[in-house]
Amino acid sequence: MEAEAALVRAALPAARASISGATAEGARAAVDELVRHGVDAILSFGLAAGLDPDLRPGAVLVPRHVRLPDGRILAAASSLRAWLGDGRPDRVGTDLLHSDDIVATAGRKGALFRTTGCAGLDMESGFVAEGAERAGLPFAVLRVVCDPAGRTLPPAAVLALRPDGGIGLGGILLSVLRRPAQIPALIALGRDAAQARKRAVRVLGDIVRDGS
């Protein structure tokens, strides 16, 4: 998303950022763009859904592997994981699950955690891992939990994502008008997203300052 890309640009101005918009087409195009510009490694950065019920908003994921829907498991580069602080007590190294669709309910998150053991889930890292492997490039993932395992997303949140990386306010407002009872859940989600982004800023600052 654009908000996450802005964090990277501020902390790592020499890095090239490309926006996926949390769509399959956007994620593939973002990876292809980075490869065309000659990057030497690819980082999947942003927010994630929690699958492990023990993880709260703001938990930092530096997964060792990305698990794809077809069962393949792709390993993140150990050197990049070390740069991101893998092994620190404030990092979670359990694997990340890639999903091609939004996992909106607490019940489905719980089922995925039981069957995969993955700590979190996103909709981009699988494409990053595949694209990096195809290009012969190392990759890693840095994600911050925004949406915890026990939460079922309000309907408006599912409509919020735009392919250009922005937020679709029109869809959110229409959904709220139709179902105003979801407003408290949206407020809670917004609060947790803000907390996750603040945590992401601190993590990027740590990396820039001391490499860990």
pLDDT in tens, 17-69: 888 776 778 888 989 999 999 999 999 998 999 999 999 999 999 999 999 99
For residue range 96-127, what is the model confidence (pLDDT) as tens digits?
A: 999 998 899 999 999 999 999 999 999 999 99
- Is 142 in contact with 59 (CB distance < 8 Å)? no
pLDDT at 22: 65
Confidence of residue 6 (pLDDT cuts 50, 70, 90): confident
Rounded CA Rg of the chain: 16
The pTM assigned to this predicted structure is 0.85
∠ CA 91-141-150, nearest 5°, is 60
- Is 151 in contact with 57 (CB distance < 8 Å)? no
Please state the separation of Cα 167 from the chain's center in Å: 16
Confidence of residue 174 (pLDDT cuts 50, 70, 90): confident
Confidence of residue 168 (pLDDT cuts 50, 70, 90): low
In angstroms, the CA 91 to CA 185 distance is: 27
Burial class (CB in 10 A: 0-12, 13-18, 19+), 71: exposed
Q: Which one is predicted more confidently, 153 or 22?
A: 153
Residues linked to residue 53 through DSSP beta bridges, in sequence order: none
- Is 154 in contact with 182 (CB distance < 8 Å)? yes
Please state the separation of Cα 125 from the chain's center in Å: 7
pLDDT at 54: 96
Confidence of residue 1 (pLDDT cuts 50, 70, 90): low
pLDDT at 66: 98
Confidence of residue 163 (pLDDT cuts 50, 70, 90): low
Q: What domains sit in the chain, N to C, each tagged with a CATH number?
A: 2-210 (3.40.50.1580)
Q: Which one is predicted more confidently, 154 or 75?
A: 75
End-to-end CA distance of the chain: 24
pLDDT at 177: 77
Query: What count of Cα atoms within 13 Å lies in the side-chain half-sphere of residue 108?
Result: 11
Confidence of residue 14 (pLDDT cuts 50, 70, 90): confident
